[in-house]
Structure 1
């Protein structure tokens, strides 16, 4: 179900001093096995595409009905700043999530991280070194977000 974080070729993102990921948080960041990642990707993201770059209008990510009105936000300015917390509008979007909510940071069908929402909120700057379209979803939650390398994030509501 999980594999050691050291198996991830870019595990350095979690071991930098800036942004600092505390050892107790690092232990809570779980890299899913490729098989488990593929299942989460299939269940939460797409059953026919393997990477965010390939999703089409048939996938929920691109449908107009899943886009939150005025739900395109700038994340990179906060990421570049001294502020450690997520941008306020992101926190509002995910306000229904408790700190113990299991979330999946989905980079592609073979690269998915599992972490608790409270840990993600503290370590989000490290995760966003992987900014080429990853999707953040919560287990059994409708709220989602897709981060883009241009510094923007789309706030989304998953379909049932």
Structure 2
């Protein structure tokens, strides 16, 4: 099995927090990968040696400056009552709603979902905002969120 049930996920609270619970219809569409599957995905798509964003080497594509061409704030939108993601992010990620996305917190913690589910619940995903990277299946565009309330817009190298 490559996925955990959301109830088994150690950070389930980010999707069930009383201040911002997600709708029940999304629960089965948010698929945390098992640790071994997460590690494999991380190694193949993010870094073969670094376990998290704080320890990227200069060999890892996210640490290369040519991977990123803009940085915008997400905090104002996150704190607002509006559910929309920042316009610059939506403009950068012009994907169909059914595109499979991977929200990569760190080597052993990757969540698979659909772009529509991420857009609808992005604030929940960012309850834990310590450097996660969003990638789309067979897509070059990437987002790298930082806990200072910014997100880098770029492309996977």
> Which TM bucket (shorter chain)?
over 0.9
Q: Any idea what SS the aligned residue of 1:27 has?
A: helix
Aligned match of 1:74? 73
1:102 aligns with 2:103: no
Counterpart residue number, 1:58: 59
For these two proteins, the number of residue pairs brought into alignment is 156
Per-residue CA deviation, residues 4-32 of structure 1 (Å, 9 max, x unaligned), is 22222221111134323111112200010
Instruction: Name the counterpart of 2:88.
Output: 89
* Alpha-carbon distance between aligned partners in 2 of 1:27 and 1:8, rounded to the nearest angstrom: 12
**Structure 2: 5+ residue stretches without partners:** none
Write the distance in 1 (CA, Å) between the matches of 2:4 and 2:27.
14
* 1:119 lines up with 2:120 in the alignment: no
Matches within 5 A, 1:27-42: 27-42=28-43
Q: Which runs of 5+ in 1 are unaligned?
A: none
The alignment's TM-score, normalised by the length of structure 1, stands at: 0.93
**Deviations, residues 125-160 of structure 1 (Å, cap 9, x unaligned):** 00000100000001111000111111111112011x
Equivalent residues of 1:30, 1:115 under 8 A apart = yes
**1:61-115 per-position Cα deviation (integer Å, ceiling 9, x unaligned):** 01122112xx1110011000011011000000101x1101000000111100000
Deviations 1:24-76 (A, max 9, x none): 112200010111111111111111111111002221101122112xx111001
Alpha-carbon separation, structure 2, partners of 1:152 and 1:56 = 21
Moved beyond 2 Å, runs of 4+? 6-10, 16-20
Quote the Cα distance in structure 2 between the aligned partners of 1:48 and 1:16: 33
- Give me the CA root mean square deviation: 1.1
Q: Partner residue of 2:9?
A: 8
SS of 2:76's partner is helix
